[in-house]
Amino acid sequence: MSDRAAKDELYDGFSVVAKALANGRRAEIIDVLSQGERSVEDLATEIGQSVANTSQHLRHLARAGLLRTRRDGNHIFYSPASSSVADLWQALRAVAADHVAEVDRLATRYLGDRDGLETISRDELARRLHTGEVIVLDVRPVAEYRAGHILGARPVPIGQLHVELDQLTKGHDIVAYCRGPYCVYADDAVRELVSRGHPARRLEDGYPEWAKAGLPTARG
């Protein structure tokens, strides 16, 4: 084989990963699985697809080496093959935000106007958690909270927030977080909390970035 042909095959091999992620639903699957393993059925519900379509997307990602599986009875659970997969997704997302002009417009269309939403950095939240100055709400689905969450955070899925509002101490600072900078759950939670008179902010990004930074986490 000529050097050129061998090099072509090598770079075609690299491109397998890019091809696997060249689909919005598959990118969304990686985003969800970066929070923790999920079953095919749970993923299908989460991304608004049929089980058959979701399974097809998962096979694409698995063939590219991006996912691993675990069987429990009749259910198959998927998770990223390594932490590098979540890192790749975060890098891809960041590059798109920096260099694809349309991303800002699309994010605003999905997330709404964020000008009135206050944020808090990971370092400041870690400090305030250490001193007990803040209530932290994890507004992701419970399965994701159990897979891993910020140490000291309360599980309050966004759909249950209205039930928990009366139990939150008025005047106490509240921080909500979810999957990352493009997750709408924390935005919705902060808007609802502020409308009810609670001082509230959202974490600047989400749980995966917090964990990657080596900040305190817990499971279960």
Which residues are the active-site residues? 178
Strands (E), the chain: 38-39, 67-72, 75-80, 119-120, 135-138, 149-150, 154-155, 174-178, 200-206, 217-218
Q: Which residues of 186-196 are buried (b: 16+ CB within 10 A; e: fewer)?
A: bbbbbbbbbee
CB distance 17 to 62 below 8 Å: no
